[in-house]
């Protein structure tokens, strides 16, 4: 029985590492890596029925928001002061890196 737990733990840990590795490449997938970050940190306010009219819930709305110089999405998530988005505090360095790499690749819808 103990051996079974050991193998279950091993499988669980290896899956977790794989998922992280999938996103920490120079070419992270929009669907697997970028969208979940926006779903986790932004859509509670930035979706239909949310507290702010800017929608960030899918490829088109996120891509358009990044292209729009008037709303400075990239600056807002990198801000070190009061303008940071989400307002409760900056997303992690890894998450910022994934978004950055995806933009650098030309924002593919992958
Ligand atoms: C708790 C609610 C909340 C969350 C979560 C949140 N925002 Fe916001 N966001 C706001 C509010 C309110 C404003 C308007 C006030 C301001 O600009 O600071 C705003 C403004 C913005 C703007 C500027 C919009 C404009 O029209 O100028 C951008 C870009 C933005 N948010 C991006 C994001 C991103 C990206 C995330 C997730 C990483 C996020 N926000 C998470 C509430 C939120």
Q: Enumerate the domain spans of the chain.
A: 2-104
Q: Is 81 helix (H, G, I), strand (E, B) or coil?
A: coil
Distance (Å) of CA 84 to CA 31, 48, 56, 79: 24, 21, 16, 5
Q: How many angstroms is it from 80 CA to the middle of ligand 1?
A: 15
Phi-psi region of 75 (alpha: psi -120 to 50; beta: other; left: phi over 0): alpha
Nearest CA to ligand 1 atom 27: 71
Which residue's structure tokens are 């940071």? 84
Evaluate the omega torsion of the peptide bond into residue 86 and state whether it is cis, within 30 degrees of 0. Answer: yes
Q: What is the pLDDT of residue 22?
A: 85
Q: What is the pLDDT of residue 33?
A: 98
- Cα dihedral 83→98→35→81 (10° resolution): -10
Which residue's structure tokens are 């890596």? 33
Mean pLDDT by 10 residues, the chain (110 residues): 58 54 91 98 97 98 97 97 97 98 98
Tokens of 10: 């091993």
Q: What is the pLDDT of residue 21?
A: 72
Say what the pTM is: 0.87
Q: How many angstroms is it from 76 CA to the middle of ligand 1?
A: 8
Q: Which residues are CB-neighbours of 97 under 8 A, at least 6 positions away?
A: 24
Nearest CA to ligand 1 atom 23: 71
């Amino acid at each position: 029985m103990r051996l079974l737990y050991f193998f279950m733990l091993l499988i669980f840990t290896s899956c977790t590492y794989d998922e992280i590795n999938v996103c920490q490449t120079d070419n992270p997938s929009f669907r697997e890596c970028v969208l979940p970050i926006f779903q986790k940190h932004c859509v509670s306010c930035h979706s239909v029925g949310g507290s702010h009219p800017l929608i960030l819930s899918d490829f088109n709305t996120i891509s358009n928001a990044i292209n729009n110089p008037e709303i400075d999405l990239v600056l807002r998530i990198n801000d070190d002061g009061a303008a940071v988005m989400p307002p409760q505090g900056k997303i992690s360095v890894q998450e910022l890196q994934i978004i950055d790499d995806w933009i650098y690749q030309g924002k593919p819808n992958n």
